[in-house]
Structure 1
């Protein structure tokens, strides 16, 4: 029973459970091989990122099948920015997956990981001359954001006596004020310039940037790009046969019904210290799965009853897709060691659990938000009848350093030396905002693969 003075419980605002979905490989590692994970934590430090390339490979296969089932010809470029681990690049290379790179460093890592240049797409606004030169040298496909960038890239190709393959990034009808891409007049002028510079510019089609995760909006934008390709062909750019639909494929962290109930019950009192939760812009943690979204995009009717994939096939258009987070679904998790517990239940109704590490090593990159799925408490003690409400803080001197602002209802009191496991963190959460604040080293990544039969899992440090 709750003790008198536990304010959170006495006010009737109990921590809402958001149980994370869990891949069978993750369950096997946590249930059958925790001793190995604990040893890795002892040797490699807290927090520790565990990365699982075999799950990434499974996601690639599933996404390819979803597009094939929808009748679409699609090439996958893994968005490297979603995780810096090298293992995903090499896994993708073995499966024939390309890379979406937005910097010279990402391009070099893709090449070093075994991805050939013709499978690498270069994105990002107004790329610098070094990236242009590398892209030309390695036959990468470059998405162009402006007339000025197109001229600079053509000059780099002329200097190298090569032809560079390009896409023109166009603004969409639904987001005409985007800072990415060209408006209609500039886009039309760029098509004409591509025809004029055909000796050094191999124009292939169009791409776009679209905020949000709506499959329908992405299908509508892709259809606009198909129409741009057809118009470009009429103007002499007969090689326009590619539409890059970008990323924005959602993934599901928690059960959809649980997510809907969370949104109905969400309240500022669930957060430390009464953080303005209703103002949060949450990722859709319980929305469409990646494969569902892929099928919805390609089956969306665009001209009467014709689907997007059917229209593309009829006109000889193939698609590129640049998933990042969604290809990393369940492909990694993060473990923190509990450093100290400040029990404020008598005064505030909940405790503050401080972990070894900080929130920059487990961040939801959406601004003014929180990483919502509940962490798992790994403890040598059995479950208690008493729920233990607590938030999770990082071990820095910043008031804002909260790994979990939301109050979690742990099944037993949390103690120093326990471990908190945050599931499904490979997509953006591990290293998007990482920092050497307080002169601390960056967390390490341990690459794990399950062994065959009774063999123990194999592990190595990423990059070695």
Structure 2
């Protein structure tokens, strides 16, 4: 469910016309719906209402401060994978006790800063990281709460670049080795073992991999308790997918995901943490772009937009699909034609879709990319010296620009020319 619908023939974000936003801020831009963000977060709260829990939003999916503030005020925790994301969570008003620090390459500086600022737990990915946290925490005279991320060797059945739970992936400690590493953690000073962490991938549309992974976590919890560890918290990651293609079967609902958690680990008496990102923010955002040209090619037509791969890299990087719709609603039954939808960047890879059927659109018309709220703006770049595009948050009948488009002067001012040139 989202709040991007046609009203009087014009696409709206909640009660605000997309054309009105475009007139104010120019194109391209991202627009987010506060009502959709709120509803999707609440779905996870409802799915875990049967137990003590914390829903930690995965900041890597959308790191805008306004989005984080909205979710934090609703009670969300934050899952961060860099000290920059940690600072964003704190700047949005989220306290350290609701921030989980994940990621395979935490530096000593990042660990120290998180300990100084307050942290709910570190999700530890390796023995060297564990030993580093112990040394730093001991040197600071504090205790670091940790969960070891275990790799359950479960195929998430998702894109190879976003699968994280197989033995060949870089993430976590092999589950067969977990008891040995937990024993090491128990011996190290400055370490408080609070739980187990697992995360098998992103954009999962089948619950079976979750069931397999969580069952392994349940078995490990019992074994670790037999070894004397006080396992009281299970971080089960995120990864639940969204329907990028509206014609496809819908992925499982959060309530069904919650039932899998209850069925597999619900009898252990542990507090549950989850780290959804895409399902909260993905369908809460659209990318809006203007048509520059309609180009007649040799055997194909090109719809050239002012948005490009630097603004939305997912199609180029993952071959990802996004519904692309006209902002002015097409008449029912209008004839459609196949187009390659592309941007102006000087790369053949700057292609959003090939042979996509589209109703008639032409120069100056607006189109919207659905399901662009996750891994859109956060992965954007200034490739080809194109400014990062604005982000807009809509709530009800009003909107605010929550990230401005930088001027070319601002972009150039970040560079410096040595005196000897």
SS of the residue corresponding to residue 370 of structure 1 reads coil
For 1:326, the equivalent position in structure 2 comes to 279
Match of 1:266 in 2: none
Larger Rg: 1
Map 1:262-341 to 2 at 5 A. Answer: 286-298=249-261, 307-308=263-264, 312-341=265-294
In structure 2, relative to structure 1, the CA distance for the partners of 1:368 and 1:171 (3 Å cut) is closer
1:389 aligns with 2:338: yes
When residues 387 and 37 of structure 1 are mapped into structure 2, their CA distance, relative to the original with a 3 A threshold, is: closer
8 A contact 1:63–1:290 mirrored in 2: no
Q: Deviations over 1:361-413 (max 9, x none)?
A: 2232784513242x1123599678542321211012212211223x222222x
Q: Which residue of 2 aligns with 1:216?
A: 208
Deviations 1:146-186 (A, max 9, x none): 11111100111112111110001112043333321112564
Match of 1:202 among 192, 200, 222: 192
The equivalent residue for 1:354 is 304
Contact 2:120 2:145 in 1 (8 A): yes
2-side partners of 1:337 and 1:428: how far apart? 21
CA distance in 2, matches of 1:185, 1:408: 47
Deviant stretches of 4+, over 6 Å: 32-35, 380-384
> Does 2:233 align with 1:242?
yes
1:125 correspondence with 2:125: no
Distance in 1 (CA, whole Å) between partners of 2:14 and 2:232 is 49
CA contact 1:135–1:142 (8 Å) conserved in 2: no
TM-score by length of 2: 0.84
User: Structure 2 stretches of 5 or more lacking a match?
Assistant: 155-165, 406-421
Relative contact order (alpha carbons < 8 A, sep ≥ 6): 1 or 2 greater?
A: 1
Instruction: State the distance in 2 between where 1:159 and 1:182 align.
Output: 25
Which structure shows the bigger proportion of residues in strand conformation? 2
**RMSD, matched Cα:** 2.7
In 1, Cα distance between the equivalents of 2:16 and 2:241? Answer: 33
Q: Assess if the C-alpha contact under 8 Å between 1:72 and 1:298 holds in 2.
A: no
Query: Paired residue for 2:396?
Result: 450
The DSSP-based 3-state class of the residue aligned with 2:347 is coil
Query: Whole-Å Cα distance in 1 between the matches of residues 315 and 332 of structure 2?
Result: 33
SS of equivalent to 1:176 = coil
More deviation, 150-159/22-31:
22-31
Structure 1 residue runs of 5 or longer lacking an equivalent are: 1-21, 260-285, 300-306, 452-456
Deviation at 1:211, TM superposition (A): 3.1
Match of 2:410 in 1: none
Contact 2:83 2:110 in 1 (8 A): yes
Alignment equivalent of 2:43, drawn from 48, 54, 62: 62
SS of match in other structure, 2:243? coil
Given that 2:3 and 2:284 are in contact with CA atoms closer than 8 Å, whether structure 1 keeps it comes out as no
Match of 1:225 in 2: 217
The alpha-carbon distance between structure 1 residues 167 and 316, as it changes in their structure 2 partners (threshold 3 A), is same
Asked whether the equivalents of residues 316 and 350 of structure 2 are also in contact (C-alpha less than 8 Å), the reply is no
- d(CA) in 1 for partners of 2:215 and 2:334? 56
Q: Distance in 1 between matches of 2:347 and 2:374?
A: 25
- Cα offset, 1:123, TM superposition: 0.6
Counterpart in 2 of 1:280?
none
Q: Distance in 1 between matches of 2:365 and 2:228?
A: 66
TM-score scaled by length of structure 1: 0.77
Q: Once the two structures are superposed, what CA deviation does each residue of 1:414-447 show, in whole Å capped at 9, x if it has no partner?
A: 2110011112210213332x12112110011011
Partner secondary structure for residue 293 of structure 2: strand
Q: Of the candidates 217, 232, 251, which is equivalent to residue 242 of structure 2?
A: 251
Distance in 1 between residues matched to 2:67 and 2:352, nearest whole Å: 25
Could you say if the C-alpha distance between residues 381 and 217 of structure 1 is closer, same or farther in structure 2, counting changes exceeding 3 Å? Answer: closer
Partner of 2:84 in structure 1? 105
Contact 2:61 2:375 in 1 (8 A): yes
The SS at the match of 1:461 is strand
